[in-house]
Amino acid sequence: MQFCECGTILVPDKQPDGKIQMKCYGCGYIITSSSNSKAFEIKQKIRHSDLEKTVIIEASDEVETMPSATAKCEKCGHNEAVYWQLQTRSSDEASTTFYRCKKCKFTWRDYG
């Protein structure tokens, strides 16, 4: 526990930008976490958003009937690929376009 020079207990005070300061409500004295990092520890939980699930479509015989487009394969450099679109669960989001190289079957998604 930390006390201000005036004798009041310093209270952690979270700023709008996420930084935490030790603040004295007695006199208004403020100690920033960077200048006094050893005095107190702030454990911040970082919540990772769910990893984006990558949809992998198994290779199928339908590839030949799928529409093709000019898209360069990152793997083999071939510039012709079939493509299809998938709508994500949330209808608010735009659909994702997938490409599959006609030569090596490498599949990737276009993030737009």
Q: Which residues bind Zn ion (CB under 5 A)?
A: 4, 6, 8, 24, 26-27, 29, 73, 75-76, 78, 101, 103-104, 106
Least distance CB 101 / Zn ion (angstroms): 3
Which is closer to Zn ion, CB of 19 or CB of 75?
75
State which residue, 22 or 101, has the beta carbon closest to Zn ion. 101
* Cβ neighbours, 10 Å, residue 59: 10
Paired tokens of 82: 């079939």
Least distance in angstroms from the C-beta of 3 to Zn ion: 8
Angle ∠(98,105,53) on CA atoms, nearest 5: 40
Angle at 18 between CA 15 and CA 22, to 5 degrees: 50
Rounded to a whole number of angstroms, the minimum distance from the CB of residue 27 to Zn ion is 3
Nearer to Zn ion by Cβ, of 27 and 94: the residue is 27
CB closer to Zn ion out of 84 and 106: 106
Q: How far is the CB of 61 from Zn ion (least distance, A)?
A: 18
CA distance 63 to 81: 10
Backbone φ and ψ for 63, nearest 5 degrees, come out as -50, -40
